């Protein structure tokens, strides 16, 4: 079968906005700041088969609960701006969900220490060659993830925040009369009541709310916590208290993770039903619109306070009846008309009017604290959300240490792993990625005439460089010399070796089978004739190639430690000396390329010998430590629950190993043919235009975060709606007067001008410049109407970038991303050129972190959430979602992934 090369991703982003690390070295350099969890040998001399990533280096992936222990550690809770990400395409084969920290707490001294036992295990397969004997099955493990309780919604169903500045009133009469009492500032926290009315003048819904905490507005007016006021509550005016999205794989394994609060039911509308803004509207039969059959809703069927009874309508000629219909206050599950997801309306609810949503069948049944092995495959892609760092406390003699962390491992059960490192099927040799050269190879230089001559110098050490970055000198059209910058000279083609990226052994990876008899690798008594010795042997080889005079003693020191191990004369030794030698940052790349076969700490319990040897040393000297450690071991173990897994595994550095497997030669190629499936007519979108668009999208694929399947499809669905089938790169103002009034606040306040400026068929063309200047005056950096900024900074490009402030922001972004200083405020029409049309859309997508929303999946809700940022007042939310579904069903970009 053909080669199988899954897509890979780094496990964490480089910042809270979700931008990916540019290279593996960038990530590794960041993780050099971690004080714990070093690969292979931990800071206390214990076996450690993975790496730690903590809030010390990547705080944006940490997520807090409201526990007292966390608040003691950190007053400001972590909000989980970014997820831990799945590192490669694969399938989830096991997971464990910790319910909360209390359920796993272990007593220590006079308190309890908290940590999470949540983990996800993902199975992967890579096959560089055309036959399966070149393949490898491996796993990535994500341990100590935040527990279920960390994803509880912030606040209850009735807790909201104001979406912007909005007026408040002190009574129902004041609402109806328009007597404003003041203004609530954006993000004022309020609690909804059941008192809801519809204002007769504009048919807007108002709710009596309770101020959650003292607030002062711009006018200096203070409202104390507990104050009750009335404010507008429909059309998305009040937002749900922010809550962190749950990991994407939750929906695939069990719906119970998203269970409604007790008494609240998820349902759908059985048929098309009218909805009402208030109970009075129900009784007066004044509906505000309709929801379609199947529309998602939630409500409390047993809450009589949220119900209204209305007499059944009797048709002409029918007998009178005392029957009534019951209407309930429901929460909308998505946008409808002018109402937004999360708004509350009244809908008929008796009988079978509403259909409860049955629990979705899942591959496994939700349990807490136990290992779950899905009955059917749960696929997951590279870059998908796995979870967040959990809180983790460790005992100390006089207290405790706290941090947030995720423990990540990469391991394989395949006995063929050593063979895999040799690239047995010679995959990739036809397109080598690296150039390797030996020590003491003759170096050449160019003479005054530009001819190659022997420099009389030789290479100081062997080395490996990326072939694509090596300057080449050709003779008669054939590569003859390669310039090696680090050696300050040229090497003849005959003295170098070109390597496939899959020749991992040649690239420094070593399989080390030297397992220990205890997880305690450095006990201070028996010199470590175990995996530590194997690591030191690799370090010794690296030190022998050392060229820095400041590091000249390293070779001697490593040799001395190895001789100590072999002789084992001194029974008591310094563990720290060995630890410093193992963790020597000068040779960390050599250690990261060691693939070690060793027993897993997740397999064995406290009574097994590999733990027992260590625990027995604590019996007399530190009985409390032994009690704690035994409890900890029993809570974290899980591997025996998976038949055939363990006990000994090949452990690889997760970042370094997966980066080595990433296709170094693959260049993402969005093609003209792909785009032609979207823009089908060559008249509106000629091949030359689509070719330029495709090239720019391909070049910016990673840098601007359209680099996963979900991201690219969401991006293109939005772009298509902006420019349309005709590929219009400038905004169209051909609006009729009634549309101007409904679309723009200016024309709602100046209806007569809408008649003057709007398009009237057969009578007048739209005055586009007037419309732009009036509609966009003073918005997002624009000047007043007379400034002409509305027309000057009208919508252009594939995102229809609008407003002076956005053009200025794009100017700054463009310089930082493409290293070109172009002033788009001064030259806004540049966005009509293909390259800048694309880049302006990419800017908006990346700058506003829309890719983070896209990572939540391909659903209507996600599509709508992106649209709200792209074009809040657009009437085509559903059209954009339909674009998304159409592009996905046609698989336009599938071959990229």
Q: Is the pLDDT of residue 361 over 60?
A: no
pLDDT digits (tens, 9 = 90+) for 562-611: 988 887 666 678 888 999 999 999 999 999 999 999 999 999 999 999 99
pLDDT digits (tens, 9 = 90+) for 829-870: 999 999 999 999 999 999 999 998 998 889 999 999 999 999
Q: Is the pLDDT of residue 155 over 70?
A: no
172 compared with 7, residue with greater pLDDT: 172
Q: To which residue do tokens 């910016």 refer?
A: 700
Q: Is the pLDDT of residue 20 over 50?
A: yes
Could you tell me the pLDDT band of residue 638, with boundaries at 50, 70 and 90? Answer: very high
Q: How far is CA 689 from the centre of its chain?
A: 32
| pLDDT at 39 (0 to 100) | 97
pLDDT digits (tens, 9 = 90+) for 700-717: 888 898 988 899 999 999
Average pLDDT, the chain: 90
CB 117 within 8 A of CB 636: yes
Average confidence (pLDDT) over 737-757: 93
Cα distances (Å, whole numbers) of residue 604 to 123, 611, 636, 638: 21, 7, 10, 9
| pLDDT at 833 (0 to 100) | 93
**CATH 3.90.550 given to domain 159-240:** no
Average confidence (pLDDT) over 726-734: 92
769 compared with 549, residue with greater pLDDT: 769
Q: Is the pLDDT of residue 152 over 90?
A: no
Q: How many residues does the chain have?
A: 897
| pLDDT at 242 (0 to 100) | 63
Q: Is the pLDDT of residue 818 over 70?
A: yes
| pLDDT at 572 (0 to 100) | 73
Could you tell me the pLDDT band of residue 797, with boundaries at 50, 70 and 90? Answer: very high
Residues 6+ apart with CB under 8 A from 775: 740, 743, 744, 746, 747, 790
| pLDDT at 66 (0 to 100) | 85
Q: How far is CA 720 from the centre of its chain?
A: 24
pLDDT digits (tens, 9 = 90+) for 466-503: 998 899 999 988 999 999 999 999 999 999 999 999 99
Hey, how many other C-beta atoms are within 10 angstroms of the C-beta on 640?
A: 15
| pLDDT at 664 (0 to 100) | 67
Q: Smallest Cα–Cα separation from 435: which of 501, 486, 369, 355?
A: 501
pLDDT digits (tens, 9 = 90+) for 325-338: 999 999 998 888 88
Q: How far apart are CA 239 and CA 161, in angstroms?
A: 5
DSSP-derived secondary structure letter, 462: -
Q: Strand 648-652 to strand 399-412: parallel, antiparallel, or no bridges (unpaired)?
A: antiparallel
| pLDDT at 569 (0 to 100) | 63
24 compared with 156, residue with greater pLDDT: 24
Q: Is the pLDDT of residue 364 over 50?
A: no
Angle at 654 between CA 504 and CA 894, to 5 degrees: 85
- Name the residue ranges covered by the structural domains of the chain: 1-148+367-425+593-602+638-663, 159-240, 255-356, 434-499, 510-586, 672-731+795-896
Cis peptide bond upstream of 647, omega within 30? yes
pLDDT digits (tens, 9 = 90+) for 172-193: 999 999 999 998 988 888 999 9
Could you tell me the pLDDT band of residue 358, with boundaries at 50, 70 and 90? Answer: low
Q: Is the pLDDT of residue 360 over 50?
A: no
**Three-class DSSP category at 648:** strand
pLDDT digits (tens, 9 = 90+) for 643-658: 999 899 999 999 999 9
Average confidence (pLDDT) over 41-50: 94
CB 243 within 8 A of CB 151: yes
Q: Is the pLDDT of residue 258 over 90?
A: no
Q: Is the pLDDT of residue 251 over 90?
A: no
CATH number of this structure's domain 672-731+795-896: 1.10.530.10
- 289-304 burial, b at 16+ Cβ within 10 Å, e below that, comes to eebeeebbbbbbbeee
pLDDT digits (tens, 9 = 90+) for 53-73: 999 999 999 999 989 999 999
| pLDDT at 154 (0 to 100) | 60
| pLDDT at 545 (0 to 100) | 86
Structure tokens at 757: 């400026």
Q: Is the pLDDT of residue 896 over 90?
A: no
Average confidence (pLDDT) over 740-767: 93
| pLDDT at 363 (0 to 100) | 35
CB 66 within 8 A of CB 241: no
Q: To which residue do tokens 């720290």 refer?
A: 576
């Amino acid at each position: 079968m053909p080669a199988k090369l899954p897509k890979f991703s780094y496990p964490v982003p480089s910042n809270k906005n979700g931008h990916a690390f540019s290279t593996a070295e960038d990530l590794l350099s960041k993780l050099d700041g971690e004080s714990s969890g070093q690969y292979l040998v931990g800071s206390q001399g214990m076996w450690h088969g993975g790496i730690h990533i903590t809030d010390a280096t990547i705080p944006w992936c940490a997520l807090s609960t409201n526990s007292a222990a966390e608040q003691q550690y950190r007053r400001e809770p972590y909000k989980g701006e970014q997820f831990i990400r799945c590192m490669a395409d694969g399938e989830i084969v096991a997971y464990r969900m910790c319910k909360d920290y209390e359920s796993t707490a272990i007593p220590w001294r006079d308190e309890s220490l908290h940590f999470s036992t949540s983990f996800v295990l993902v199975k992967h397969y890579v096959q560089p060659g055309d036959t399966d004997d070149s393949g490898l099955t491996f796993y990535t493990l994500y341990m100590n993830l935040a527990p279920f309780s960390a994803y509880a919604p912030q606040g209850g169903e009735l807790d909201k925040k104001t979406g912007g500045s909005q007026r408040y009133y002190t009574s129902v009469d004041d609402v109806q009369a328009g007597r404003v009492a003041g203004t609530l500032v954006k993000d004022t926290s309020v609690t909804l009541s059941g008192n809801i009315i519809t204002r007769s003048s504009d048919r807007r819904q108002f709710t009596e709310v309770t101020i959650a905490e003292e607030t002062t507005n711009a006018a200096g007016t203070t409202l104390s916590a507990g104050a009750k006021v009335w404010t507008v509550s429909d059309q998305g005016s009040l937002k749900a208290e922010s809550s962190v999205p749950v990991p994407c794989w939750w929906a695939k394994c069990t719906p119970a993770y998203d269970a409604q609060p007790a008494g609240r039911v998820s349902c759908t509308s059985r048929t098309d039903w009218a909805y009402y803004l208030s109970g009075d509207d129900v009784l007066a039969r004044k509906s505000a619109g309709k929801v379609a059959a199947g529309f998602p809703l939630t409500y409390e069927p047993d809450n009589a306070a949220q119900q209204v009874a209305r007499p059944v309508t009797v048709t002409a000629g029918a007998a009178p009846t005392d029957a009534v219909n019951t209407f309930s206050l429901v929460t909308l599950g998505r946008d409808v008309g002018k109402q937004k997801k999360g708004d509350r309306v009244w809908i008929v609810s008796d009988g079978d009017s509403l259909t409860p949503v049955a629990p979705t069948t899942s591959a496994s049944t939700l349990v807490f604290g136990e290992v779950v092995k899905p009955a059917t495959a749960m696929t997951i892609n590279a870059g998908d959300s796995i979870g967040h760092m959990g809180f983790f406390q460790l005992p100390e003699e006089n207290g405790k240490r706290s941090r947030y962390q995720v423990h990540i491992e990469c391991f394989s059960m395949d006995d063929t792993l050593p063979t895999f490192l040799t690239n047995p099927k010679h995959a990739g040799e036809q397109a080598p990625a690296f150039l390797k050269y030996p020590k003491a190879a003759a170096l050449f230089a160019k003479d005054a005439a530009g001819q190659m001559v022997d420099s009389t110098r030789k290479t100081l050490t062997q080395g490996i460089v990326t072939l694509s970055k090596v300057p080449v000198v050709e003779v008669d059209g054939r590569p003859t010399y390669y310039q090696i910058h680090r050696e300050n000279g040229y090497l003849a083609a005959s003295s170098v070796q070109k390597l496939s990226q899959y020749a991992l052994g040649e690239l420094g990876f070593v399989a080390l089978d030297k397992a220990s008899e205890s997880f305690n690798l450095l006990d201070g008594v028996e010199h470590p004739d175990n995996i530590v010795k194997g690591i030191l042997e690799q370090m010794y080889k690296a030190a022998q190639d050392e060229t820095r005079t400041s590091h000249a003693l390293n070779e001697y020191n490593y040799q001395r430690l190895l001789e100590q191990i072999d002789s084992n004369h001194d029974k008591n030794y310094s563990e720290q000396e060995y630890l410093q030698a193992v963790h020597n940052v000068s040779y960390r790349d050599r250690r990261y390329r060691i693939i070690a076969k060793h027993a897993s700490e997740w397999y064995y319990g406290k009574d097994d010998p590999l733990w027992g040897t260590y625990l027995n040393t604590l019996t007399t000297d530190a009985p409390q430590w032994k009690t704690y450690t035994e409890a900890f071991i029993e809570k974290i173990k899980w591997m025996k629950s998976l038949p055939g897994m363990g006990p000994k595994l090949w452990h690889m550095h997760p970042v370094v190993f997966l980066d080595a497997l990433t296709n170094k030669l693959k260049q993402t190629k969005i093609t003209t043919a792909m785009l032609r499936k979207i823009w089908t007519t060559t008249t509106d979108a000629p091949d030359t235009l689509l070719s330029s668009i495709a090239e720019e999208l391909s070049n910016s694929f990673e840098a601007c975060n359209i680099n996963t399947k979900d991201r690219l499809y969401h991006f293109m669905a939005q772009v298509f709606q902006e420019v349309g089938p005709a590929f219009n790169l400038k905004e169209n103002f051909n609006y009729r007067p009634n549309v101007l009034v409904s679309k723009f606040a200016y024309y709602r306040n100046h209806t007569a001008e809408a008649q003057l400026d709007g398009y009237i068929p057969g009578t007048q063309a739209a005055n586009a410049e007037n419309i732009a200047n009036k509609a966009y005056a003073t918005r997002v950096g624009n000047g007043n109407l007379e400034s002409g900024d509305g027309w000057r900074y009208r919508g252009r490009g594939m995102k229809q970038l609008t407003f002076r402030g956005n053009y200025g922001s794009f100017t700054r972004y463009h310089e930082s991303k493409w290293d070109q200083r172009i002033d788009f405020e001064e030259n806004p029409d540049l966005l009509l050129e293909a390259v800048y049309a694309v880049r302006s859309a990419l800017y908006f997508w990346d700058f506003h972190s829309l890719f983070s929303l896209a990572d939540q999946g391909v659903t209507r809700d996600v599509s709508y959430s992106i649209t709200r940022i792209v074009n809040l007042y657009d009437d085509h939310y559903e059209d954009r979602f339909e674009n998304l579904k159409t592009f996905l069903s046609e698989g336009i970009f599938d071959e990229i992934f």
